[in-house]
């Protein structure tokens, strides 16, 4: 493992995370999936690196540290975007369910539309009918 191999791997991870950010923004699930798969491969490769026992110069270590911080910020931004997307989806689904529930009460047991006063569900009337 040499410095260039490590640096290029981290640089590639940064690029994949930037593409992932674009895929999240554009709601492109296919690209998002491809980027996630590529990230897994790179993380497995990075896990094989012995970063503690190396002979990198101080300048090389600083460059890797800086790149690592950039990657961390990009990943945190991606997590925020994903959380926001999930919140939006949950709000949309809640709205749809509320509309469906309100529409459900607009019909009687026979599926016929009725006015608010006509849809009263009074058990004694229902049983007699």
Distance CA 84, CA 89 (A): 9
Phi-psi region of 107 (alpha: psi -120 to 50; beta: other; left: phi over 0): beta
The full set of domain ranges for the chain reads 3-128
Local confidence pLDDT in tens for the 129 residues of the chain: 789 999 999 999 999 999 999 999 998 999 999 999 999 999 999 998 888 888 899 999 999 999 999 999 999 999 999 999 889 888 888 888 887 676 666 665 666 666 555 555 555 555 555
Name residues whose C-beta falls within 8 Å of residue 25's C-beta, 6 or more positions apart in sequence.
81
């Amino acid at each position: 493992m040499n410095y260039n191999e490590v640096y290029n791997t981290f640089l590639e991870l940064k690029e994949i995370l930037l593409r992932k950010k674009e895929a999240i923004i554009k709601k492109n699930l296919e690209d998002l999936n491809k980027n996630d798969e590529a990230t897994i491969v790179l993380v497995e490769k990075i896990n094989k690196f012995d970063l503690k026992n190396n002979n990198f110069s101080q300048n090389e270590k600083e460059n890797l540290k800086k790149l690592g911080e950039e990657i961390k910020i990009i990943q945190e931004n991606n997590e925020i975007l994903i959380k926001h997307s999930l919140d939006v989806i949950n709000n949309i689904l809640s709205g749809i369910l509320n509309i469906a529930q309100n529409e459900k009460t607009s019909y009687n047991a026979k599926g016929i539309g009725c006015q608010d006063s006509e849809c009263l569900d009074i058990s004694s009337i229902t049983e007699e009918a």
